[in-house]
Amino acid sequence: MKPSDDIENIVKKMSFKVGPELDKDLWAETLKARNAFHKTILSPGQNNIGRTIMKSPITKLAAAAVICIMCLTGLFFWKSTGSGIALADVLARIEQVTAYSYQVRSTITTPQTKTDLKNTVLVSQEHGIKYASRSVEPNNNEIDGADAYLLPKQNSIIFVVHEKKMYVRVKFDDDKLAYYKEQYNDPRIIVKQILNCDHSSLGQSVIDGTTVEGFQTTDSAYGGGFMGAADFEGKPKKVDVKLWVDVNTFLPVRVEEDVVTKDGMRMHEISYDFRWNVLMNADDFKPIKPEGYLSFGEVTVPAFKEENAVLGLRLFAGLAGEYPDNLDAVSLNKKTRKLIGFDIDTLEDLADDEKARLNSELMSIMGPAFFYEKLVEDDMDPAYYGKTVTPKDADKVLLRWKQEDGSYRVIFGDLRAETVTAEELAELEKP
Amino acid sequence: MIEDELLKWKFKSGGKDALQRIYEKYRDYLLTLAMALVNDAGLAEDIVHDVFVTFAKSIGTFKLRGGLKSYLTTCTLNRCRDQIRARKRQPLSLDEDMPMQSDFDPPDKRMITDEQSRLVAGAMAQLPYEQREVIALHLNAAMKLRCIAGLQNVSVSTIKGRYRYGLQKLRSALNGRL
């Protein structure tokens, strides 16, 4: 047979592949178009809680901010999870709901401690999110823990910490609050996370008289719930998440999460008593600051930018004479508070402007932690060498990350920044 | 198919990874399809570029019930038709032959191909556009003749005829050259 007799196969085999140079250009343009769109739709002032964009980097950033508050207040303020199911349809269904509430029971166990929390969550697309947490003592007594109010119209979150009789307002820049609202313990995040993971069906069952269908994931890539804290220190050691959905309404009925972090902390959480499309008004989201509570002042989380990372490193080095060992938000927060003399116990004695100064200083130094977390979340191949690089090591790589064009941005020991190729970076990082 | 459904959902949710996966999965396919239809390296490159850029921008309004591959194929097809119309700068006459000589540079840095593919693309360029489109969509895009009939707004028997005649011309154009 002559080749031309098999003409159909010959045409089928025709192949033109995108070469490396073209590939680079095409992808860069495509990404640019996508990023331009993201930038536009996430511009400041757009505070629609119902926005459906999920940008996981901010989960961790928001979590980092909250962890800062936890560190500041000394309170282990805990969050709950949402819910999910079959699964794209459930997601679509949830997105139509304008207001809902649910209960959460959380148990956090470490080798040394066990914490039980009972939480109530109200979510309104119009008014915001209210999260009330109560700790449950071994004798089942419940004690007010902390309330959090995410207020879209004020671009801020207010934490009222009953245990410490204090409150603090956290302000977010630009579009971060919009992301934060999206991520704030939203059941949609759980559904999206399960969708992103290997998951299986648990079949049908009945919960409180409601026929439900279950879904389960044990994929360690799961990062939903717990406000991203489950993998805050890296991928969890164990994940078991079950989601039960009403077969008639396609809305979550119950979510069970059991996560063991790589450090051995176990977080078990059950979300239940979901009430969908309930009536809520502005008063439900009005922060209640009981009389006599101490104001912790206002905290502004710095933008997640290179310059803020460099500023934070410079400030830290100025105080400590060295760079932080690592950029973990919790440990950096503790070290910084020690360095700047930010003692929670004496806060009451400080004037408001002094509180503001300390808050500002603390958050400025936290800049690199927030920035690094964003790099990790954006999968930008970051590396930080604060353990071995000091301010005297002018030409050593202190922090680096990959940019969209494949080059690397490098912050050196003397805090100057340069863009280098991957090959040049390999040379720079040679021991 | 399942992967595409997931990619669609992830893309709509704003996932950069999903966009990258879609791009990587379909870039070569779309380039081949564009080359089969226009046999012009620069034009094919522009077409694939436009398809992906437009797709990336559609993230906020993206509502796709059909298949991802079909969607991208149709986008590419429409742009090829537009480009051919624009190139001719005269009322559309899809039956006019395209030049046999391709201005596609031999495998250079921007595209990777082989001699046979270049010859086939060149031979396809000799076909009337409508025959070329039927062959490319059926053989390169694995589209059913019935669907192609819908796209060209003609009967299935007309499509079958265009396919058969097109193949005959291709066979004779390539005879002795492969």
Residues 6+ apart with CB under 8 A from A1: none
Amino acid at B112: I
Give the pLDDT band of residue B107 (cuts 50, 70, 90). very low
* Higher-pLDDT residue of A29, A140: A29
Instruction: State residue A52's pLDDT score.
Output: 25
**Burial of A138 from C-beta contacts in 10 A (0-12 / 13-18 / 19+):** exposed
Instruction: State residue A5's pLDDT score.
Output: 57
Residues above pLDDT 70, as percent of chain B: 76
Q: What is the ipTM of this complex?
A: 0.87
Helix (H, G, I), strand (E, B) or coil at A99: strand
Per-residue pLDDT at B42 exceeds 70: yes
Per-residue pLDDT at B65 exceeds 70: no
Q: Where are the alpha helices (DSSP H) in B89-136?
A: 115-124, 129-135
User: Which pLDDT tens digit goes with each residue over A287-310?
Assistant: 888 888 877 777 777 777 898 899
Q: Which of A311-315, B102-106, B172-176 has the weakest average pLDDT?
A: B102-106
Instruction: State residue A412's pLDDT score.
Output: 95
* Higher-pLDDT residue of B14, B175: B175
Instruction: State residue B13's pLDDT score.
Output: 64
User: What does the alpha-carbon distance between residue B156 and residue A123 come to, in Å, rounded to a whole number?
Assistant: 55
Q: Which of A209-213, A231-235, A274-278, A329-333 has the weakest average pLDDT?
A: A231-235
* Higher-pLDDT residue of B62, A46: B62
- Point out the residue among A14, A15, A54 whose CB comes nearest to the CB of B14: A54
Per-residue pLDDT at B160 exceeds 90: yes
Mean per-residue pLDDT for A392-412? 92
Chain A, 369-408: which have a CB under 8 Å from a chain B CB? 379
CB half-sphere exposure, A227, CA atoms < 13 A = 18
| Cross-strand pairs, A103 | A120, A272
User: Which pLDDT tens digit goes with each residue over A166-217?
Assistant: 888 877 665 555 555 555 556 777 777 777 778 888 888 888 888 888 888 8
Rounded alpha-carbon distances, angstroms, from residue A137 to A27, A111, A119, A253, B89: 55, 18, 14, 27, 81
Amino acid at A23: D
Helix (H, G, I), strand (E, B) or coil at A211: strand
Per-residue pLDDT at A42 exceeds 70: no
Per-residue pLDDT at A35 exceeds 80: no
Give the pLDDT band of residue A225 (cuts 50, 70, 90). low
User: Which pLDDT tens digit goes with each residue over A122-144?
Assistant: 888 788 888 888 888 777 788 88
By the CB < 8 Å criterion, does A235 face chain B?
A: no
DSSP A318-374: HHHSS--S---HHHHHHHHHHHHT--GGGGGGS-HHHHHHHHHHHHHHHHHHHHHHH
Contact A320, A339 (CB under 8 A): yes
**Burial of B127 from C-beta contacts in 10 A (0-12 / 13-18 / 19+):** buried
* Higher-pLDDT residue of B89, A370: A370
Closest CA to A366 of A411, A311, A417, A415: A311
Amino acid at A400: R
Give the pLDDT band of residue A236 (cuts 50, 70, 90). confident
Beta-carbon separation of B171 and A36 below 8 A: no
User: What does the alpha-carbon distance between residue A28 and residue A21 come to, in Å, rounded to a whole number?
Assistant: 11
Give the pLDDT band of residue A278 (cuts 50, 70, 90). confident
CA distance B28 to chain A (A): 5
Most confident of A143-147, A193-197, A341-345, A402-406: A402-406
User: What does the alpha-carbon distance between residue B141 and residue B133 come to, in Å, rounded to a whole number?
Assistant: 10
Contact A197, A221 (CB under 8 A): yes
User: What does the alpha-carbon distance between residue B132 and residue A383 come to, in Å, rounded to a whole number?
Assistant: 52
CA distance A6 to chain B (A): 8
- φ, ψ at A211 (rounded to 5°): -75, 125
Beta-carbon separation of B19 and A29 below 8 A: no
Give the pLDDT band of residue B35 (cuts 50, 70, 90). very high
Per-residue pLDDT at B133 exceeds 70: yes
Sign of CA dihedral A171, A172, A173, A174: negative
Give the pLDDT band of residue B92 (cuts 50, 70, 90). very low
Rounded to the nearest integer, the mean pLDDT of chain A is 76
Closest CA to A73 of A14, A146, A18: A146
User: What does the alpha-carbon distance between residue A388 and residue A247 come to, in Å, rounded to a whole number?
Assistant: 56
User: What does the alpha-carbon distance between residue A104 and residue A87 come to, in Å, rounded to a whole number?
Assistant: 21
Secondary structure of A58-91 in the HEC alphabet?
HHHHHHHHHHHHHHHHCCCCCCCCCCCCCCHHHH
- pTM across the whole model: 0.49
Beta-carbon separation of B53 and A33 below 8 A: yes
Q: Which of A268-272, B80-84, B94-98 has the weakest average pLDDT?
A: B94-98
Contact A294, A348 (CB under 8 A): yes
Instruction: State residue A181's pLDDT score.
Output: 52
Instruction: State residue A167's pLDDT score.
Output: 83
Beta-carbon separation of B167 and A8 below 8 A: yes
Residues above pLDDT 90, as percent of chain B: 36
Token digits of residue A169: 């307002």
Instruction: State residue A348's pLDDT score.
Output: 66
Question: Residue B103 is inside which H or E element, if any?
Answer: none
Token digits of residue B56: 């990336």
User: Which pLDDT tens digit goes with each residue over A59-76?
Assistant: 334 444 454 454 444 333
| Cross-strand pairs, B124 | none
Mean per-residue pLDDT for A356-379? 82
Contact B79, B47 (CB under 8 A): yes
Angle between helical axes of A187-196 and A176-183 (0-180°, round to 10):
80
Chain A, 28-67: which have a CB under 8 Å from a chain B CB? 29-31, 33-34, 36-38, 41, 52-55
Give the pLDDT band of residue B91 (cuts 50, 70, 90). very low
Amino acid at A346: T
Beta-carbon separation of B60 and A37 below 8 A: yes
Mean per-residue pLDDT for B9-29? 81
Give me the torsion for CA of A26, A27, A31, A33, rounded to 10°.
10
CA distance A318 to chain B (A): 38
Beta-carbon separation of A16 and B32 below 8 A: yes
